[in-house]
Amino acid sequence: MYGFQSTEEQQALVDTARRFTREKIIPVAARLDEHEEFPLELFKEAHALGLANGEVPAEYGGVGLGCLDHCLILEEIAYGCAGIKTTLAGNNLGAMPVMLAGNDEQKAKYLGMLGAEPCFAAYACSEPDAGSDVAGISTRYERHGDEFVLNGQKRWITNANHARWFTVLATRDRSLRHKGIAMFVVDADTPGVKIGRRENKLGMRASHTCDILFEDARIPRSALLGAEGEGFKIAMRTFDRSRPWIAAGCAGLIRRALDESRAYALERKTFGEPIARHQAVQFMIAEMAIRYEATRLLLLKAAWLVDQGTLDATVSACAKAFGADAAMASTTDAIQIFGGYGYTKEYPVEKLFRDAKLMQIYEGTSQIQRVVIARSILGR
Ligand SMILES: Cc1cc2nc3c(=O)[nH]c(=O)nc-3n(C[C@H](O)[C@H](O)[C@H](O)COP(=O)(O)OP(=O)(O)OC[C@H]3O[C@@H](n4cnc5c(N)ncnc54)[C@H](O)[C@@H]3O)c2cc1C
């Protein structure tokens, strides 16, 4: 059966997230962005309201939502600030490998931490020389008796400087490519684990992004998620589930661009009439509406498939790729509609534009999504 009607519970979830966004996020978003201020207090409030750790199962103190309901929250939060959305989603991203491959003890310990109090997890896959090419990572693990020893460097890790633990991808031999990779869960206070430089970013500046360094960091055997050699698969399954979240963030950005553009176009006058009367402006607004509806349909389908247990990696990639390009185009048009004012910090659309760019880059660039889609259609 097909349906587009949300349940009462879903509507209540959206109402809570929308109110939180309107009352708490929108008033401070520009300041947090300007000063790269981490939204710790907002995160605590989101945690208390059940808006953080969306997909962490309720038995471990998480909210226990499915992917679709989680996406409904993320769209609302991104409407207010995509950087804060990334901070919230970053926790779920860090936790997903534990949810997918952790044993009962690992789940109880690490997911339980996220449920018990507002704290952070991070997902450490990318490196200075390996972003798109995940199988090319060089962070090494060696087995020493009952321990593993990690050496290497991770880059671009969301929430790293606030996280209590990380999920970390490492290889026992880089030449083995994906076959040599394992996934670990690592306490942030492990000796030999250090947080490196923090990036000074174009957008999503309320979200913090740092290097993590591993220098002879010794972790117990119980830190291994799944089996050795399974890490690459766990990482890919994580991305398949997280890509609808990015598309949800894109839907939030497009809807905000549309609302801001509509209000401005009705108010701003040129040649004696509101710019909303000029067809060129109308068409940019119409395109935004088309992109919003299409992004939303795609992300809901991708998330719904995840919830049915019939996840389709191609649909997740389509949602992420389309949503990211649609957000970039819509926020570019929003600046155009605002004219010179759109190019200044006096109005929120320049932030939407800066934030949208990251949607085309993280969790698999727009090119990599197309590689995934083309491979599934054409085969390798
Ligand atoms: C703000 C931010 C937050 C992030 N958060 C995290 C995080 O929490 N955890 C994490 O692990 N990573 C994170 N990342 C890393 C992110 O996923 C990578 O930056 C991304 O995957 C791209 O990798 P790269 O930067 O190494 O670019 P590269 O892989 O070097 O790509 C450079 C360019 O080449 C293109 N390209 C590469 N290979 C191909 C190909 N086969 N076909 C066509 N085009 C190709 C790319 O599309 C891109 O345009 C984050 C990044 C940023 C910027």
CATH number for the domain harbouring residue 68: 1.10.540.10
Residue 1 has pLDDT above 70, yes or no: no
Residue 307 has pLDDT above 90, yes or no: yes
Domain count, the chain: 3
pTM of this structure: 0.97
Query: What whole-number distance in Å separates Cα of residue 245 and Cα of residue 89?
Result: 7
| Cα end-to-end span (Å), the chain | 34
Instruction: Specify the DSSP class assigned to residue 364.
Output: S
Residue 242 and residue 204 share a domain: no
Atom of ligand 1 nearest to the CA of 128: 26
Q: Which of 120, 153, 180 is the last residue of a domain?
A: 120
Q: State the average pLDDT over residues 19-35.
A: 98
pLDDT-based confidence at residue 68 (cuts at 50, 70, 90) = very high
Expressed in angstroms and rounded, the spacing between residue 209 Cα and the centre of ligand 1 is 13
Residue 104 and residue 27 share a domain: yes
pLDDT-based confidence at residue 331 (cuts at 50, 70, 90) = very high
In this predicted model, what pLDDT tens digit does every residue of 156-213 receive, in sequence order? Answer: 999 999 999 999 999 999 999 999 999 999 999 999 999 999 999 999 999 999 999 9
Largest CA-CA distance found in the chain, in angstroms, rounded: 80
pLDDT at 3: 84
Domain hosting 30: range is 8-120
Residue 249 and residue 163 share a domain: no
Residue 261 and residue 199 share a domain: no
Candidate of 153, 202, 360, 362 to mutate for ligand 1, largest count of ligand atoms within 8 Å of Cβ:
362
* DSSP, residue by residue, 144-206: ETTEEEEEEEEEEEETGGGEEEEEEEEES-GGGGGGGEEEEEEETTSTTEEEEEEP--SS-TT
Q: Are 329 and 174 in contact (CB under 8 A)?
A: no
Whether 363 is catalytic: yes
> Is the residue at 2 inside a domain?
no
Q: State the average pLDDT over residues 76-83.
A: 98
In this predicted model, what pLDDT tens digit does every residue of 255-299 receive, in sequence order? Answer: 999 999 999 999 999 999 999 999 999 999 999 999 999 999 999
Q: State the average pLDDT over residues 125-152.
A: 97
Residues near ligand 1 with C-beta < 6 Å? 90, 123-126, 131-132, 156-158, 201, 204, 209, 358, 361-365, 367-368, 371
Instruction: Specify the DSSP class assigned to residue 53.
Output: S
Residue 200 and residue 94 share a domain: no
What residue type is assigned to position 263 of the chain?
A
> Is the residue at 365 inside a domain?
yes
Residue 295 and residue 174 share a domain: no
Q: Which of 229, 250, 277 is the last residue of a domain?
A: 229
Expressed in angstroms and rounded, the spacing between residue 356 Cα and the centre of ligand 1 is 15
Residue 29 and residue 84 share a domain: yes
Q: State the average pLDDT over residues 217-241.
A: 97
In this predicted model, what pLDDT tens digit does every residue of 248-261 receive, in sequence order? Answer: 999 999 999 999 99
Residue 374 and residue 246 share a domain: yes
Query: What whole-number distance in Å separates Cα of residue 294 and Cα of residue 66?
Result: 21
- H-type helices in the chain, by residue range? 8-20, 29-35, 40-49, 67-80, 82-101, 104-106, 112-116, 231-267, 279-308, 313-338, 349-359, 366-378
Of the chain, the percentage scoring pLDDT greater than 70 comes to: 100
Q: Are 184 and 212 in contact (CB under 8 A)?
A: no
Chain-wide mean pLDDT for the chain? 97
Q: State the average pLDDT over residues 342-371.
A: 98
Atom of ligand 1 nearest to the CA of 93: 8
Residue 290 and residue 249 share a domain: yes
Residue 185 and residue 114 share a domain: no
The DSSP element (H or E) to which 273 belongs, if any, is strand 273-274
In degrees rounded to 5, what are phi and psi of residue 112?
-60, -40
> Is the residue at 195 inside a domain?
yes
